Every structure is written in structure tokens, then in C-alpha cells.
Amino acid sequence: MESTALNRVAELRAAVEEHNRRYYDEAAPTITDQEYDALYRELADLEARFPALASPASPTQKVGGAPLKAFALVTHRAPMLSLDNTYSEEEVADFYRRLQRLLPDAAIPVVVEPKVDGVAVSLLYEDGRLRYAATRGDGTVGDDITQNIRTIRSVPSQLKGRPPKILEVRGEVFMNKEGFAQLNAARLEAGLPLFANPRNSAAGSLKQLDPAITAERPLGVVFYGTGAVEGAQLTKHSELFAILQELGLPATERWWMAGSVEETLNAIRELDRVRHDFAYQTDGAVVKVDAFGQREALGFTAKSPRWAIAYKYAAERVETRLHDILIQVGRTGVLTPVAALEPVTVSGSRVARATLHNEEEIQRKDIRIGDMVVIEKAGDVIPAVVGVRTELRTGAEREFRMPPNCPECGSAVQKDEGQVAIRCVNSQCPAQLRRRIEHFASRGAMDIEGLGEAMVTQLVGRGLLHDVSGIYQLNATKLATLERVGEKSIRNLLDAIRRSKTRPLWRLIFALGILHVGVSSSRALADHFRSVPKLMESSVEELQQISDVGEVVGRSIHAFFQEPLNRELIKALAASGVKMVDDTPRAEASETSPFADSSWVITGTLSEPREQIAETIIGRGGKVTGSVSKKTTYLLAGDEAGSKLEKAKKLGVRVLDEKEFRTLLES
């Protein structure tokens, strides 16, 4: 019997170690939490039944994952232990009864709080200033991710109020649900692999070696505990939440006190009813003994505290019929398969469509048209097909293959080497046209209010728009032929179109939708060339020398303007009166002017939008870029400035706050 157990223990240890590596080091798990917990529990049970098989090297005796070699290492002042977890309410009840046995004749208040599905971090503040931030790592030593943590706007560099001399605070970094959906939509459009859920995307963001990439991700943090503390006296966990808020640290927004098994279970159920309204993903509830004195009496195991347990909610999954697989065509021509489902309610909303990501994903899961499929909302946000009930197949199901031609325009499709994305090669495809027009008119580009998805669909469908230049040929007569469009709407839209003709040059460059060209690179291009015609005639070599451009973006820009249809588009826009030249008068600055030939980077929260401040700087003779370098003259730093501020200090770049900036303007 023991030899059989020995073999099974070896198998389980290897499997758990491999899944730990995928989860912690790669942020790319291949099994669900529940499947992992089942393997882990089986291993722990076998080691308990056969003590001779126990080993300090077993994953049951470890916490988290090994620190990344790419980061410096940090030793936690107090160990970061993980919690025992369960999917059973009865085991939660057993946990509370065990507390009562260990502390007989004592009232044992517990706190029930959300289990945020993020990445565990520890931040050390000394005299109120952030000294470093680290991942959990192996529980004793973690990765130094200070520069990445500083990019999260809700993390203060200086605590408010009267902070303790030493405060080691623990929490979870998360990606908010809305930001996760937007990030995946952008990755889908670019033909990049999608993140499986917000937790994976948050983990991947914190593991970036370039903090600028982390800064672009919609990350937040929730703090819920402490490690080492000097200069403050806490006796109860429930006192912590108010203290964290007073110090300016974002804390758990909802929590419950309980004093019995039934009260604890009721709190867990109440949390389940409200947790979907949180901005972040939660996957369970954490139950903690409130009094620190009782915690000390209860003690720890080798891996976990005896005074806490995590209860995990089962992911809500529903079954429904997959009637068809449809194809959506994005702005850049990427074809995305979408499941057309028998409508079903999941996580509180009605779902009739679910993403299938790409053809390789469909083949890997063996999804067929007509299957009964299992639906889950990835991160409580995006409906996705996570499984197939193959045992229910009748033989009438049909395998799916991506079409050889675009379903919108009939043009051939192609798959670029090294990518999973399949693209329509016809730049005049109606679906691509709709997406391009929507992007062109969006608030971050030409900002044409009233030209949203529904309006664009009608205009393209009626043949009133054939490219973005056609926007400027619209008139009241044409718009009056559309359904449900009144005189006031027509007047407002035409006013917005007229205003868009004089937008700053960088907005036009961004609006063109050039692959890989974002806001920062659009600004850099506008500042360097000062006109679209000059940009069109630039060489790859010249483009690559520009800040915020580089090799990949430079080649993409050059290829865009070599396309005859794109050159014709620019000519049509110019003929319609769209501003092609940045003729903003530069200040007649003397050589001693602080703005003459200056290079600026703007970071943090300021009293007006960064776009407006950037236009002011450009109008005075300076230029604005997206990243700090040795060539940067000034960094304008608002509240909660992140990694750019630290880099500027290291490079000796002059840093101005907003008051100093306004003084400079007045001079």
C-alpha cells in the first residue's frame, strides 16, 4: 500500500510543481483553481496518512512560486503565508468549531472579507514613504517590483496622516473588469493572444521588466493586512480598515463581523450576492479571527495560519446549445470567431454570444457547431466557451473551419507567420470600414460626437460613407434619409464634423488607425514632422530615430503611407479642409527661454487633462514625448506620479510640480 502511495505522491508532487510554475511564474495556468486544489488536497492527504513520505521539499510545504531571476530579491520582514482553502461550507463550519475547541469558553469574533483574485504583494513604508514593493515569491523572499507598483495610481508614495515608523502592508494587485475587457479587445484587434482572466493579466503586468508597459495597464490594489509594524499598536484586525483609509491606502470596501458558525456562513452568502458589483474580480471569501491575541494563541502550521481560511465560490458555469459560429471582422481585418448561443443567464446577465478567440482555440477544445457547451464569464466580464459536453453528441454536430474568404467582402484572408490571427487583406472591406470610421470619430481621436456605432452602421449600409474622408461630405440632405435621426441630431453632428477639421495634428495621425501607432507616438510624429505630407515622405530610418517610435512602429508607419489608397485618403481629407499642418505659432523664445527646444514628459494627476497641457507646451516651443530619457528636459509630475518620476530622478532630469510649471509659463 505504501509503495503505491509513494508512486502517487511522486506523480502529484510533479503535477503540482508544474502547475505552480505555470500559475506563479508564467501567469498562464492550464487548469482551473478547483482542479488544482483537488490535486493539492490529495497530495496533502497522502502525506498525512503516510508520514514517512512527507518531505520539506514537497509543494505542500512551500508558499507561492520562486522569485523571477530578472528582478532583484526582497526578504519580507514577516513571512507571507498562504491560506488553507475550501469549496465546502461544511468545512468552513468545521474550521470555526476547531477554533472553539482550541479556545474553549472564549467568544471568537471573526472577520469575513472578499478574496480578491489578484496577485499578492507586500509594500514596506518607512516613516510614511514607500521603500519597496515585492511579490509573495516563496513566502520568505519575493521579487522587487517597486518600479511597477509605483505606476499604479492608487498606491501612494507618501502615506497621509501620522503613519507608523515601519509598516509592511499586504494586499492584492488586480486588473479591473472593465479595463480587462478593453485590454483584451485591443489585443484581439492586434492579433495577440488574449489574457484568460484579470488575475493572469495583472500578474503578467507586474512581471514586465519595462514599467512603461505596466503603466499602460488598468491596475489597482486592495490592502487587507500587515506584516511587520513598528510604532503602532493594533489589537484587532477590524481596526485595520479605517487606519488604512486614513493613511491613503485603498482597503477592502465590504467586510462582515461574525461570532458563530451560522453568522459566518450568512456573511459568506451575503458577500456572494454583492461581489459582482465590485470593480475587481473576487473568487471567494476569507474568514479571519479578529483578535490578534487569539491569533497568537492559535499559531501556524508550516505553510498557513490556523486562524484563517479561504472559502472559494464555485465558478458559475451554465450549459447551452451552440447554434453557430459567426465571424467578426475588426478594424485591422482580424477575423474573430464568435459563438452564437441559445440565450442563457450567467453571472447575472443574459448571454447570446461568447468569444471563441481563434481557430486554434476551437480546435484545441474540439468545439463543434451544434454542441452543448459550457459557458463561463472570464473574470466575471467576457462570456467564453470553456468546455464541451462531448458525451451528448448525436453525430449531427459539424466541425468548424475558418473561411478562406472574408464573410463581409469575399476577399481572400491570410495568416501571418508566427501569429494566430487571420486577417482580411481587403482594406475596403465594409466591416473594417465601419471599425475604422468609429475609431476615427472616437473621443481620443477626432472626437466627432454623434458618430457612434449605430450611426456609422447606417451610413455605411446606405452607401453614404466609403472611407473616413466621406465624413466631411455629409450634409443635412444625406443625413435626413437615415432612420430615427432628427433635425437637432443632424445639426449637432454636422457641427461636430466641422469642429473636427481643426483638431491638433497628433489627433489626426492617431485617427488614421496606423497599426501600432498610439497617442504617444502620434504626438512624437506630429512634433517631429509638423505636417502629414512630410510624414508621408519619411524613410524608415528617419522614423526609427524618433522617440516613442522605434523599428516595428517605424516600419508600420512607412508601409501605411506607401499604400496608394491611404495616400488618396490623405489627399481627400486635405481637400475637405482637414488640418494637415501643425501651424500652431511657436513662442518667439530666446535661447534662455525654458521652452525653447525643450523636451517634456507629463505624468501623474494634474488639474487639467494632459492633452491640454501638452498643447500649451508645444505652443510655447517645447515638445512632449511619452517616455523619460537623457534627452528629456523637464518632467511635469502631478499627484501619484509613478515610475517616470523615479527614472527622471535617476537621470538627473529636472522635475516640476504643477505650481512650478505655472510659474514657468508666466515667465
DSSP string, 228-261: EEES----BGGGHHHHHHHTT--B-S--EEE-SH
- Lowest average pLDDT, out of 112-126, 265-279, 546-560, 562-576, goes to 546-560
- Please report, for the chain, the start and end positions of each structural domain, with discontinuous segments joined by +: 2-61, 73-181+194-312, 318-422, 430-575, 599-666
Where are the extended beta strands (E) located within 52-109? 73-75, 85-86
Of 62, 69, 115, 312, catalytic = 115
C-alpha cell belonging to residue 264: 459566518
- The CATH superfamily of 430-575 is 5' to 3' exonuclease, C-terminal subdomain (1.10.150.20)
Residues 619, 253: Cα–Cα separation, whole Å: 44
Residues 290, 283: Cα–Cα separation, whole Å: 22
CB distance 343 to 290 below 8 Å:
no
Residues 540, 475: Cα–Cα separation, whole Å: 39
The closest of 258, 253, 257, 229 to 241, measured between CA atoms, is 253
To 5 degrees, how large is the angle CA 481–CA 485–CA 487? 95
* 3-state SS, residue 617: helix
C-alpha cell belonging to residue 139: 513566502
Cα torsion angle, 535, 540, 546, 548, sign? positive
Q: Count the neighbouring beta carbons within 10 Å of the beta carbon of residue 342.
A: 13
DSSP 2: H
Question: % helix / strand / coil in the chain, to the nearest 5?
Answer: 40, 25, 40
Mean pLDDT within 483-497: 92
Rounded (10°) angle between helices 564-575 and 550-562: 80
pLDDT the model gives residue 379: 46
* 3-state SS, residue 123: strand
- The CATH superfamily of 2-61 is Helix hairpin bin (1.10.287.610)
For residue 288, give the amino acid letter: K
Cα torsion angle, 226, 232, 233, 236, sign? negative
Where are the extended beta strands (E) located within 27-158? 73-75, 85-86, 110-116, 119-126, 129-135, 141-143
* 3-state SS, residue 500: helix
Q: How confident is the model at residue 69 (pLDDT cuts 50, 70, 90)?
A: low
Statement: the pTM of the whole predicted model exceeds 0.85: no
CB distance 125 to 163 below 8 Å:
yes
C-alpha cell belonging to residue 632: 528629456
pLDDT of residue 65 exceeding 70, the answer is no
Q: How is domain 318-422 classified at the architecture level of CATH?
A: Beta Barrel (2.40)
Residues 666, 151: Cα–Cα separation, whole Å: 30
Pairwise pLDDT comparison (348 vs 559), residue with the higher score = 559
pLDDT of residue 83 exceeding 50, the answer is yes
The closest of 141, 122, 119, 118 to 132, measured between CA atoms, is 122
- Lowest average pLDDT, out of 113-122, 134-143, 534-543, 615-624, goes to 615-624
C-alpha cell belonging to residue 170: 499586504
> Does the annotation count 288 as an active-site position?
no
Residues 6 or more apart whose Cβ sits within 8 Å of residue 519: 444, 506, 510, 626
pLDDT the model gives residue 666: 78
Hey, which of 131-135, 418-422, 597-601 has the most confident mean pLDDT? Answer: 131-135
Residues 6 or more apart whose Cβ sits within 8 Å of residue 448: 440, 441, 471, 493, 496, 497, 500
Q: Is CATH 3.40.50.10190 the right assignment for the domain spanning 599-666?
A: yes
Alpha helices by DSSP H, listed for 442-502, are: 453-461, 476-479, 487-500
pLDDT the model gives residue 524: 83
pLDDT digits 0-9 by tens, 432-454: 999 899 999 987 789 898 998 88
The closest of 196, 213, 22, 208 to 117, measured between CA atoms, is 196
The closest of 101, 139, 99, 104 to 295, measured between CA atoms, is 99
Residues 375, 588: Cα–Cα separation, whole Å: 63
The closest of 102, 114, 63, 107 to 287, measured between CA atoms, is 114
* 3-state SS, residue 475: coil
pLDDT the model gives residue 410: 92
CA 249 from centre of chain = 20
pLDDT the model gives residue 347: 65
The closest of 439, 435, 478, 440 to 459, measured between CA atoms, is 478
Q: How confident is the model at residue 378 (pLDDT cuts 50, 70, 90)?
A: low
The closest of 526, 502, 485, 514 to 448, measured between CA atoms, is 502
CB distance 303 to 63 below 8 Å:
yes
pLDDT digits 0-9 by tens, 581-601: 987 665 554 555 677 778 888
Residues 554, 570: Cα–Cα separation, whole Å: 19
CATH class of 73-181+194-312: alpha beta
C-alpha cell belonging to residue 631: 534627452
Mean pLDDT within 214-223: 85
Residues 87, 41: Cα–Cα separation, whole Å: 12
Alpha helices by DSSP H, listed for 290-378, are: 292-298, 359-365
For residue 207, give the amino acid letter: K
pLDDT of residue 161 exceeding 50, the answer is yes
Residue 625: which H helix or E strand, with range?
strand 623-625
